[in-house]
């Protein structure tokens, strides 16, 4: 097992996704916002260790040579897919997508 620790960075798109989800939760499920946010943060933090354990996302191979992985998160009110790439010692979070949304290449 590797002792390597990865730094986690959020692309602007992922930060926007997270802000939109939190905004929606603030209106629809005000009581759950803090718990949901703490839970997804902890889930994403697991990517600091062994991010390669996560499978490739359906979007993999569509934008360049970097593999796109996905981490699934089951939080209120439903599932989310956290899409990311791995570079040397960095995990780049690309998007946080509701599980019911189409894959990124199908959004057109």
> Phi/psi of residue 49, each to 5°?
-120, 125
**Residues 31-55: pLDDT tens digits?**
888 999 999 999 999 999 999 999 9
pLDDT at 78: 78
- Compute CA distances 27 → 20, 33, 49, whole Å: 11, 9, 34
pLDDT at 102: 52
Q: What does DSSP say about strands 7-10 and 90-98: parallel, antiparallel, or unpaired?
A: parallel
> Phi/psi of residue 106, each to 5°?
-100, 0
pLDDT at 70: 96
The answer to whether 82 and 70 have CB atoms below 8 angstroms apart is yes
**Residues 56-101: pLDDT tens digits?**
999 998 877 899 999 999 977 679 999 999 998 999 999 999 876 5
CATH tag, 7-100: 3.30.2310.20
Residue ranges of the domains in the chain? Answer: 7-100
Residues 6+ apart with CB under 8 A from 6: 47, 48, 49, 51, 86, 89, 90, 91
Cα distance between residue 19 and residue 47, in whole Å = 20
């Amino acid at each position: 097992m590797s002792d390597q620790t990865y730094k986690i960075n959020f692309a602007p798109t992922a930060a926007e996704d997270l802000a939109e989800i939190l905004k929606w939760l603030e209106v629809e499920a005000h009581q759950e916002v803090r718990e949901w946010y703490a839970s997804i943060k902890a889930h994403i933090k697991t990517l600091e260790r062994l991010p390669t354990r996560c499978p490739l996302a359906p979007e993999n191979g569509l934008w360049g040579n970097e593999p796109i992985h996905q981490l699934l998160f089951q939080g209120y009110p439903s599932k989310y897919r956290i899409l990311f790439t791995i570079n040397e010692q960095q995990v780049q979070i690309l998007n946080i997508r509701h599980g019911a949304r189409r894959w990124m290449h199908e959004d057109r």
